[in-house]
């Protein structure tokens, strides 16, 4: 096993170069806000977020090395450390916090305020960073060569690429610009339809595709396999389950619907059936998928936690060597104690002393598990949803047993679940960043401070973003399905009130079981069951583009460059669309969105509206090829 004495980082421990500078802090904070807000918007639309580390690293290299003419790789590394914290905080927050808005819309409680959401995100994020400090030596240093930390290693390679990484920054910015224009044409000016659907007379099923650049980019980044599992789930929902519900229940009132299925379908089409029934089936599949992934990971989880605790017992938290200096253990323990008390004592966070203890115990356990899991299989396969589901089930049962029920019980359960979900997400991100720093020769203490700066910046941005998006469109709507948050809401209600349509939920559970038995990865398939098929189809298009590039007969180095350029362009498109989406939400809140709408003013015909949509989608696809396959390289 490698150790600190054997491994030699890129920047030697005895050499001191700039890391925490005014430039790195300001750039990092800007990227934390941008990628945090963009990922919040993306996650609420498609139920998935994407890693921001590599795009942040590329942008920082482009600005610091090319524009500012500075040669400071550790400064660039700190930018991506701060910037990537925003994406992870967003992932943890959007899985849970929108449930509070959903309950408020149903009249069960008041709408959450920005302060309470900011505090939940901030405390969860800081706990995630502090829990990782004593684990760094155990997992990053002592297991170097055993735990690959794929995103962290890839990010280090990008930064080491130097001038190449700087040149590629233009690809990210191009993606942002193109997606901003496309999004503004589709949802701002409304010159073309955001999705095109086809249905056959006499058959209740529906198929089609959205044309949004960010949604297609998710498919490209995730690849054809994950995209196909999501698409298969959508096909099952929209071409099998919806037609069956309409066929067999046309003249029946099925709970939770309040009128006959036939009437609902006549008035609202397949979308009405999806909204009333399929979402519960999808939620059941998602819950089962999360629990199955957690159960499958249990042996690894137990081994991980035991090994980390054993390694920690011999860990020295202070070293004279620059590349081995962490934040003081005394400071970390005091900070964790203070944050735990704040979780309990701050009136804006409805958590009791028992709840605060649950946060610390589960938080540290899942931080350890999250770090080890992302070290082995990467951040994309980290079962954060499964951990959150397990936490919510146990927490809600404890709260109910203690007599904390109703709106207070539900608020308390989701607050505890939110903090632990954010802890898990931030711990995974911090691990990847510390791995990058370990390879490059960064100072761990400075990176840990950078993570804290990123968490503070993103916490403020995320809470404001959630409030803005809810005011514009509402969570659970067609624009913002918020699948994980809806699932968390259903779990808490199911335990607290027992008034769920359990038959639909169990149908979803056993669909997930069947998928697991036949070897289909359950979570992407379950997300596909839950989300509209048009969205899944758009993701599938991105997956097919990636598949075509993967199958090219080119030499390995050229093919890798082409695919990586595509990933950078798509990462930029996700950020660009997310930012314009938030800007349009702001206009909608102030009632200015109608002024931009040209569809009615120009009298655009439905035919042109749909044909124009497909033409624009073709241009979006060509833009990806232009900046990947057809890009001129030196």
| DSSP letter string, 1-50 | ---TTT---SS-TT-----S-HHHHHHHHHHHHHHHHHHHHHHHHHS---
> Is 545 a domain residue?
no
Give the pLDDT of residue 341: 96
| Assigned token pair, 520 | 């289909």
Give the pLDDT of residue 124: 96
Residue 179, preceding bond cis, omega within 30 degrees? no
At 329-365, the pLDDT tens digits run 889 999 999 999 999 999 989 999 999 999 998 888 8
Matching residue, tokens 């997400």:
425
Report the share of the chain in percent with pLDDT over 70: 92
> Is 204 a domain residue?
no
Which whole number is the average pLDDT over 300-309? 64
Q: What are phi and psi of 598, to 5 degrees?
A: -100, -10
Q: Please state the domain count of the chain.
A: 1
Would the pLDDT of 282 be above 50?
yes
Give the pLDDT of residue 2: 43
- 91 within 8 A of 323, measured Cβ to Cβ: no
Task: Count Cα neighbours of 409 within 13 Å in the Cβ-side half-sphere.
Answer: 21
- Chain center to CA of 165: 25
195 DSSP β-pair partners:
210
Would the pLDDT of 312 be above 60?
no
At 67-81, the pLDDT tens digits run 777 778 899 999 999
At 611-622, the pLDDT tens digits run 999 999 999 999
pLDDT band at 487 (very low <50, low <70, confident <90, very high): confident
At 128-181, the pLDDT tens digits run 999 998 888 878 888 787 778 877 887 887 788 764 445 577 888 899 899 999
In Å, what is the CA distance from 64 to each residue of 26, 36, 157? 12, 22, 17
Would the pLDDT of 530 be above 70?
yes
> Is 232 a domain residue?
no
Give 271-329 as a 3 state SS string: HHHHHHHHHHHHHHHHHHHHHHHHHHHHHHHHHHHHHHHHHHHCCCCCCCCHHHCCCCH
Would the pLDDT of 386 be above 70?
no
Mean pLDDT of the chain: 86
Would the pLDDT of 549 be above 70?
yes
Give the pLDDT of residue 165: 46
pLDDT band at 449 (very low <50, low <70, confident <90, very high): very high
> Is 444 a domain residue?
yes
Would you tell me how many other CB atoms lie within 10 Å of the CB of residue 207? 17
Give the pLDDT of residue 138: 78
> Is 377 a domain residue?
yes
> Is 340 a domain residue?
yes
Give the pLDDT of residue 287: 80
Sign of CA dihedral 449, 450, 455, 460: positive
Among the ranges given (266-275, 301-310, 389-398, 515-524), the one the predictor scored with the smallest mean pLDDT? 301-310
More confident residue, 455 or 61: 455
Domain that holds residue 63: 22-171+294-312+327-487
- 568 within 8 A of 172, measured Cβ to Cβ: yes
From the list 421, 371, 370, the residue with the least C-alpha distance to 395 is 421
């Amino acid at each position: 096993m490698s150790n600190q004495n054997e491994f030699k980082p890129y920047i030697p421990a005895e050499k001191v170069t700039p890391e925490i500078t005014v430039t790195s802090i300001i750039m990092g904070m800007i990227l934390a806000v941008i990628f945090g807000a963009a990922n919040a918007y993306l996650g609420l639309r498609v139920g998935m977020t994407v890693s921001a580390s590599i795009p942040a690293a590329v942008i920082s290299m482009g600005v610091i090395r090319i524009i500012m003419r500075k040669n400071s790789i550790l400064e660039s590394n700190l930018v991506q450390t701060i910037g990537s914290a925003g994406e992870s905080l967003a992932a943890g927050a959007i899985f849970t916090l929108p449930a509070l808005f959903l309950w408020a819309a149903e009249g069960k409680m008041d709408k959450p305020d920005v302060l309470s959401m900011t505090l939940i995100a901030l405390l969860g994020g800081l706990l995630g960073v502090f829990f990782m400090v004593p684990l760094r030596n155990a997992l990053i240093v002592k297991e170097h060569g055993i735990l690959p930390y794929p995103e962290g290693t890839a990010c280090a390679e990008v930064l080491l690429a130097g001038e190449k990484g700087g040149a590629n920054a233009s690809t990210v910015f191009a993606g942002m610009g193109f997606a901003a224009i496309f999004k503004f044409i589709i949802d701002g000016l409304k010159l073309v339809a955001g999705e095109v659907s086809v249905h056959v007379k006499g058959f209740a099923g529906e198929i089609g595709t959205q044309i949004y650049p960010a949604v297609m980019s998710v498919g490209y980044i995730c690849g054809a396999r994950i995209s196909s599992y999501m698409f298969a789930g959508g096909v099952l929902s929209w071409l099998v389950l919806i037609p069956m519900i309409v066929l067999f229940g046309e003249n029946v009132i099925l709970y939770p619907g309040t009128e006959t299925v036939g009437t609902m379908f006549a008035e609202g089409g397949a979308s009405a059936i999806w909204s009333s029934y399929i979402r519960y089936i999808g939620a059941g599949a998602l819950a089962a998928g999360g629990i199955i992934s957690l159960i499958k990971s249990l042996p690894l989880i137990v081994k991980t936690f035991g090994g980390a605790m054993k390694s920690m017992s011999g860990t020295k938290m202070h070293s004279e060597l620059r590349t081995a200096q962490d934040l003081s253990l005394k400071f970390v323990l005091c900070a964790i104690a203070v944050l735990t008390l704040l979780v309990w004592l701050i009136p804006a966070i409805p958590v009791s002393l028992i709840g605060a203890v649950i946060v610390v115990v589960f938080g540290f356990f899942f931080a350890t598990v999250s770090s080890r899991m992302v070290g082995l299989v990467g951040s994309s396969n980290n079962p954060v949803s499964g951990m959150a589901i397990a936490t919510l089930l146990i927490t809600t049962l404890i709260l109910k047993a203690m007599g904390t029920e109703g709106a207070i019980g539900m608020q308390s359960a989701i607050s505890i679940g939110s903090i632990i979900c954010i802890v898990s997400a931030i711990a995974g991100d911090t691990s990847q960043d510390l791995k990058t720093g370990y390879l490059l020769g960064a100072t761990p203490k400075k990176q840990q401070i950078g993570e804290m700066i990123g968490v503070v910046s993103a916490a403020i941005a995320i809470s404001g973003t959630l409030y803005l998006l809810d005011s514009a469109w509402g969570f659970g709507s067609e624009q913002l399905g918020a699948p994980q948050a809806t699932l968390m809401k259903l779990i808490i209600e199911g335990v607290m009130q027992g008034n769920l349509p359990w038959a639909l939920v169990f149908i979803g559970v056993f669909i997930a079981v069947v998928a697991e038995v036949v070897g289909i990865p359950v979570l992407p398939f379950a997300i596909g069951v839950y989300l509209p098929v048009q969205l899944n189809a758009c993701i599938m298009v991105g997956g097919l583009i990636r598949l075509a590039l993967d199958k090219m007969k080119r030499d390995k180095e050229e093919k890798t460059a082409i695919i990586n350029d595509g990933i950078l362009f798509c990462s930029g498109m996700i950020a660009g669309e997310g930012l314009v989406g938030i800007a349009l939400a702001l206009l909608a809140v102030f009632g200015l969105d109608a002024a931009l709408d040209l569809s009615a003013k120009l009298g655009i015909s439905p035919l042109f509206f749909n044909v124009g949509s497909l033409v624009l989608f073709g241009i979006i696809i060509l833009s990806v090829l232009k900046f990947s396959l057809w890009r001129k390289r030196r």
